[in-house]
Amino acid sequence: MDDVASNSPAQSADILLPCRECDLVVAVPEPEPGQWLRCPRCAHPLARYTPHDQTSPALAVTALIMLALALAFPYIRFEKSGVSDSMGLLDAATQLAAFHDPLLGIIVFTTIVVLPGCFLVALLWVHLSLSGRHRLPGTALLVRSLPRWQPWMMADVFAIAALISLIKIAGMAQIGLEPGFWAFSGFALALLFTVQRFHPLALWARLAGPPAPPEGARAGETAAGQGLVGCEQCGHLQARQAGRACQRCGARLHRRHPHSLQRTTALLVAAILCCFPAHLLPIMVTTSLGNTQPSTIISGVLQFIGHGDWPIALVIFVASVLIPFGKIMALGWLCLASRQNRQLDMAAQMRLYRITEWVGRWSMIDVFVVAIVVALVRLGNLLSIQPGPGGLAFAGVVVLTMLAAMSFDPRLIWDQQQRRNHDPTLFPRSH
Ligand SMILES: [Zn+2]
Ligand SMILES: [Zn+2]
């Protein structure tokens, strides 16, 4: 259940929270358990009350058991002309390394196994610490770090990539699903639910108590307009002093992300440069009965269309072509719009920013498809698939556009509106 928080003056029981996407200070009453409170200006979810959350640790333990099973058992079996082979989850990374693509292997293994595994263990450590009388060492550091790992965990993207790989190979040979496949699918699902329930502000409330705003802080105005700064990690509103860390959680404080527009633009330019090798060089090379055939991202899409697999062709085209290009254009436009004084639709800009931030990781589908088919199809001259240099370049495009979205500060969108309105109480010139 969602509710919109109030931007009217705070009642005594209210907590003042700065919205991390538009900087408005919002008076947040204590919500009902499980209820989300949203920012009245930009609709960003501000707070959720989860007093004694037992479901998250249970989900995290389930996900870890599933991951262990997925690593212990074979993932997919492959059979052609009486020769059969099976791949494990680890093979998806080690085979890339064996074909002189160790960096891509590391990216795949880190995003589907290492980071999710570390996230789940760290989350269990935090919950164990919060449920005991004494805090365990490193609890604050972990609560501060966990949100940064979240976008880079891609088990769900890999699970979808596995389904696409099966359809891709189904025409070449017989395929069988092994126990590791089902265990990994269960792991991806349990991880998804764990991440959905993860809310750092609720953890900080249990770890450090409710945040106490400084004297005279007012709801309904921006934090920057009052000479204050909101901590992006724990939501604590405090006086702004250059170079000082958050009093409550120790995170670095920034009124806005430093050099946000310059960094975002530089990362976008690097992503555009990576697009050329990503789309011009082959991402995989298929050897069948001694004949080798390289394929690029686009020729892979055309192959699916040729075989009549329209839905898969569409998924690959959207994930590998439309999303990266759309993301570069959307972020470029947001950077330009943040510098201009023209009347623009704020809600539309925020929607564009959120979609851009959310869809980026799904572009990794094609990279994971390559990792799976390379590990699976290893029958030498009879039939084998090797990774091409385009795969690493494409992974580079995905990583760079994700970093660009993270370095863009959405509060700049709202600053631009306030500058245009010349409202000195909301945004004084000294900031
Ligand atoms: Zn907001
Ligand atoms: Zn903080």
Which ligand number lies closest to the CA of residue 5?
Answer: 1
Q: Which of 17-31, 41-55, 116-130, 303-317 has the highest mean pLDDT?
A: 116-130
For the chain, give the percent of residues with pLDDT over 70: 91
Do both 141 and 6 map to the same domain? no
pLDDT at 426 over 70: no
The mean predicted confidence, pLDDT, of the chain is: 86
Residue 6 pLDDT class (50, 70, 90 cuts): low
Closest ligand to 18 CA? 1
Q: Report if residue 270 sits inside a domain.
A: yes
How many domains does one find in the chain?
2
Per-residue pLDDT reduced to its tens digit, 220-235: 888 988 889 989 888 8
Confidence (pLDDT) at 431: 36
The single residue listed with the structure tokens 């009549």 is 308
Q: 1: CA distance to ligand 2 center in Å? A: 27
pLDDT (average), residues 157-162: 94
Residue 328 near residue 401, CB atoms below 8 Å:
yes
422 inside domain: no
Confidence of residue 8 (pLDDT cuts 50, 70, 90): low
* pLDDT at 45 exceeding the cut of 90: no
Quote the pLDDT of residue 155. Answer: 95
**How much is the average pLDDT of 239-249?**
81
d(CA 87, CA 27): 54
Ranges 42-56, 75-89, 343-357, 403-417: which has the least confidence: 42-56
| Model confidence at 219: pLDDT above 70 | yes
Domain that holds residue 216: 1-49+212-247
Residues 270 and 387 in one domain: yes
Mean pLDDT of 293-321: 88
- Give the number of the ligand closest to the Cα of residue 144: 2
Which ligand has the nearest atom to the CA of 251? 2
Given a cut of 60, whether residue 173 has pLDDT beyond it is: yes
Band of residue 68 on the pLDDT scale cut at 50, 70, 90: very high
| Residues 303 and 367 occupy one common structural domain | yes
Residue 428 scores a pLDDT above 50: no
Centroid of ligand 2 to alpha carbon of 251 (angstroms): 5
pLDDT at position 4, please? Answer: 57
* % of the chain residues with pLDDT over 90: 40
Residues 243 and 150 in one domain: no
Give the pLDDT of residue 93: 86
From ligand 1's centre to the CA of 351, what distance in Å? 12
- How many Å lie between the centroid of ligand 1 and the Cα of residue 267? 26
* pLDDT at site 33: 67
HEC assignment per residue over 297-352: HHHHHHHHHHCCCHHHHHHHHHHHHHHHHHHHHHHHHHHHHHHCCCCCCHHHHHHH
Same domain, 243 and 365: no
- Where does the pLDDT of residue 34 fall: very low under 50, low under 70, confident under 90, or very high at 90 and above? low
**Residue 31: per-residue pLDDT:** 63
**Are residue 231 and residue 187 in the same domain, yes or no?**
no
Does 430 reside within a domain?
Answer: no
pLDDT for the residue numbered 70: 96
Sorting pLDDT into bands at 50, 70 and 90, what band is 7?
A: low
Average pLDDT over residues 31-48: 79
Domain membership of residue 426 (yes or no) is no
With CA atoms as reference, report the closest residue to 224 among 428, 375, 393, 66. 428
What is the model's pTM?
A: 0.88
Residue 406 lies in a domain: yes
Query: Which ligand is nearest the CA of 245, by number?
Result: 2
Position 161 pLDDT exceeds 70: yes
User: What protein residues have CB closer than 5 angstroms to ion ligand 1?
Assistant: 19, 21-22, 39, 41-42, 44
Give the tens place of pLDDT for each residue, 320-352.
999 999 999 999 999 998 887 677 788 888 899
In-domain check, residue 110: yes
Q: Among all ligands shown, which has an atom nearest to the Cα of 22?
A: 1
Q: Is residue 71 part of a domain?
A: yes
* Residues 26/15, Cβ–Cβ less than 8 Å: no
Give the per-residue pLDDT at 1: 44
Residues 344, 228: one domain?
A: no
Q: What is the mean pLDDT of residues 46-55?
A: 74
Nearest ligand to the C-alpha atom of residue 207: 2
The rounded Å distance from CA 329 to ligand 1 centre is 24
State the pLDDT confidence band at 12, using cuts at 50, 70 and 90. low
Predicted confidence (pLDDT) at residue 378 exceeds the cutoff of 50: yes
Q: How far does residue 287's CA lie from ligand 1's centre (Å)?
A: 54
Asked whether residue 147 falls in the same domain as residue 81, the answer is: yes
Q: What integer is the mean pLDDT of 393-416?
A: 92
| Same domain for 177 and 263 | yes
Q: In angstroms, what is the span from residue 56 Cα to ligand 1's centroid?
A: 27
In a domain, 385, yes or no: yes
Q: Mark whether 274 and 358 lie in a shared domain.
A: yes
What per-residue string of b and e applies to 364-378 under the rule 16 or more CB within 10 Å gives b?
bbbbbbbbbbbbbbb
pLDDT score, position 275: 94
How high is the pLDDT of residue 207? 87
| Residues 127 and 239 both lie in one domain | no
Separation of CA 410 and ligand 1 centre (Å): 10
Tell whether 322 and 388 lie within a shared domain. Answer: yes
Q: How confident is the model at residue 427 (pLDDT cuts 50, 70, 90)?
A: very low
